[in-house]
Chain A
């Protein structure tokens, strides 16, 4: 009885979430903003990279990359705190 109620609730919630996710905009065609045309038209001339993805990641949105590198550093620190008994100095 409990497993039946759990299964029905899960199915209803899953179908509601799926309906919301599909009906926001047509699947496969994201809405256009003004930034896409600016990056494609001016990206190669201003930054000098042939790869627009790298120029967006490291030049136009460089602070996000800085935060991501800091998160990787914090993850390494966390692993050291759990496993670092045998490292000399601890």
Chain B
């Protein structure tokens, strides 16, 4: 039951939040969506029976990486320019 229902939901969450992080012009929204992608990734690692990787991904991806991104965004501009790429 878990492999047929919960695992496709978690993997779809990874794809949707990663694709939506590219869409916004406000950088804080992209950072929050990257944190959500890391959370879905840790859930799917746990369902695939790899608990060491799940703990490492949850603590590093959703903790340290998000904190470094927030510090970097708060010291530079928050909005992406209209004609920049």
Contact = CB atoms under 8 A, between A and B. Distances in A.
A15 B52 CA distance: 33
Contact residues of A: prevailing secondary structure: helix
Interface residues of B, number: 1
Contacts of B52: 51, 53-54
Contacts of A53: 52
Interface in B11-32: none
A51 B52 CA distance: 10
Nearest to B52: A53
A42 B52 CA distance: 21
Interface in A45-75: 51, 53-54
Interface in B50-67: 52
A65 B49 CA distance: 22
A47 to B, nearest CB: 16
A53 B51 CA distance: 10
Nearest to B53: A53
3 contacts: A51-B52, A53-B52, A54-B52
Interface of B: 52
Interface of A: 51, 53-54
3 closest pairs, A vs B, by CB? A53-B52, A54-B52, A51-B52
